[in-house]
């Protein structure tokens, strides 16, 4: 591929996304696979990656910077957690030994919090992407998804964070409980807003309100679109009630995708919080790009395949620094 400088990879439990990047960190091409970490054994990661990005490769080695569950204990290579408070990402990355000589793969470590216990993988890269564009941001980032995160940011560091099982609970309740008979497509904004308010006011009643979705669909007219919106609103409302110390009176931004980010923005607006929204994919790429630039600036001699290593001023300056 003409102009290919490096490859960015976001490798989660269910899917793998890759972007071919040029020297200016613009996207030349993208590809997605359903070969997530959860479907692979350790020796399956390299073939899965090659099947995804093989058409982009030539003969020369290419730098691949990857984040997410690829660095978990069940991933390609474990990238050990680093404890907060700390920057969202930093060096060193975990280097993977690939059989194909064209691949130079490095994995971003996750972040850990010991009290109360919590971990993140992948979100740290999105946070780094946000801070690359907003270096003076002090406040709270909300990262909704399968495992929603609320992250306190100060002075460019992750200070603390909390994780909520909201997205996974929505999927489990939708697919594996009696509620699956009541849910359907569509969306009812009023049902969502009422459910958020109910859960915020009485989080202890959420389990009861969840069953009422099924009861009301049997005994009266509760449309599938209303039922789906109510389920989402109850779960997000309960999350907001638990995360109140994070967002109350804070500068808040949401890093998320599509409708789920919109739902969180709407729920926060009901509480008087006006949140900025940034696309998760864009923040992931921006975070990986910032790491890749830092890798070359700090230790270019350790990465001679990067295009600006040979003969550059950066390389000459770095030669006086310890490796």
- Model confidence pLDDT, tens digit, residues 175-224: 999 999 999 999 999 999 999 999 999 999 999 999 999 999 999 889 99
Burial group, residue 48, by CB count within 10 angstroms (0-12, 13-18, 19+): buried
- Specify the pLDDT at position 294: 84
Considering the four listed CATH numbers 3.30.420.300, 3.20.20.70, 3.30.1490.20, 3.30.450.30, the one that applies to the domain covering 6-134+300-318 is 3.30.420.300
Task: Give span(s): CATH 3.30.420.310, the chain.
Answer: 162-280
Which pLDDT tens digit goes with each residue over 98-122? 999 999 999 999 999 999 999 999 9
State percent of the chain over pLDDT 70: 92
pLDDT at 269: 98
Residue with tokens 């990067």: 306
pLDDT at 314 over 50: no
- Cβ burial 197-209 (10 Å sphere, 16+ → b, else e): ebbbeebeebeeb
CA dist., res. 256 & res. 280, Å (int): 5
CATH 3.30.420.300 residue spans of the chain: 6-134+300-318
pLDDT higher than threshold 70 for residue 247: yes
Give residue for tokens 């907001």.
240
Share of the chain above pLDDT 90, in %: 87
Q: What confidence category does residue 1 fall into, taking pLDDT thresholds of 50, 70 and 90? A: confident
H or E element that contains 276: strand 276-279
CA angle 175, 176, 179 (to 5 degrees): 75
At 14, list the tokens. 């269910």
**In which band, very low, low, confident or very high, does the pLDDT at 303 lie, cut at 50, 70 and 90?**
very low
Residue 321 pLDDT > 90: no
Q: Which two tokens stand for residue 186?
A: 């569509």
Count CB atoms within 10 A of the CB of residue 319.
Answer: 10
Edge-first strand order for the sheet with 157-164 is 157-164, 148-154, 139-143, 252-256, 276-279
Q: What does the alpha-carbon distance between residue 168 and residue 175 come to, in Å, rounded to a whole number?
A: 11
Mean pLDDT computed over 229-247? 98
pTM: 0.89
Q: How confident is the model at residue 298 (pLDDT cuts 50, 70, 90)?
A: low
Angle at 243 between CA 238 and CA 246, to 5 degrees: 160
Which pLDDT belongs to residue 201?
Answer: 96
Above 50 in pLDDT, residue 322? no
CATH architecture for segment(s) 162-280: 2-Layer Sandwich (3.30)
Nearest partner of 11 among 93, 106, 148, judged by Cα: 106
pLDDT in tens, 260-277: 999 999 999 999 999 999
């Amino acid at each position: 591929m003409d102009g290919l400088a490096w490859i960015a990879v976001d490798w989660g439990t269910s899917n793998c996304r890759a972007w071919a990047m040029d020297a200016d960190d613009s996207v030349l091409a993208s590809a997605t696979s359903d070969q997530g970490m959860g479907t692979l054994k350790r020796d399956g990661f390299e073939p899965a990656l090659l099947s995804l990005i093989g058409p982009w490769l030539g003969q020369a080695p290419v730098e691949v910077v990857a984040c997410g569950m690829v660095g978990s204990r069940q991933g390609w290579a474990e990238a050990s957690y680093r404890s907060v408070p700390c920057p969202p990402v930093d060096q060193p990355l975990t280097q993977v030994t690939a059989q194909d000589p064209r691949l130079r793969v490095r994995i971003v470590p996750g972040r850990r919090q010991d009290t109360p216990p919590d971990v993140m993988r992948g979100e740290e890269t999105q946070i780094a992407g946000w801070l690359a564009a907003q270096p003076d941001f002090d406040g709270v980032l909300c990262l909704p998804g399968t495992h929603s995160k609320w992250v306190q940011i100060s002075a460019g560091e992750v200070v603390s964070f909390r994780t909520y099982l909201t997205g996974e609970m929505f999927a489990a309740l939708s697919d594996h409980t009696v509620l699956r008979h009541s849910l359907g497509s569509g969306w009812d904004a009023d049902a969502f807003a009422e459910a958020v308010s109910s859960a915020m006011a009485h989080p202890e009643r959420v389990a009861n309100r969840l069953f009422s979705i099924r009861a009301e669909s049997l005994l009266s007219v509760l449309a599938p679109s209303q039922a789906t919106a109510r389920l989402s609103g109850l779960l997000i409302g309960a999350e907001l009630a638990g995360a109140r110390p994070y967002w109350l009176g804070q500068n808040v931004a949401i890093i998320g995708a599509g409708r789920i980010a919109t739902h969180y923005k709407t729920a926060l607006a009901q509480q008087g919080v006006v949140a900025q929204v940034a696309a998760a994919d864009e923040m992931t790429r921006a975070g990986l790009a910032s790491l890749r630039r830092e890798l070359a600036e700090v230790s270019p001699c350790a990465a001679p395949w990067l295009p600006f290593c040979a003969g550059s001023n950066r390389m000459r300056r770095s030669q006086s620094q310890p490796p």
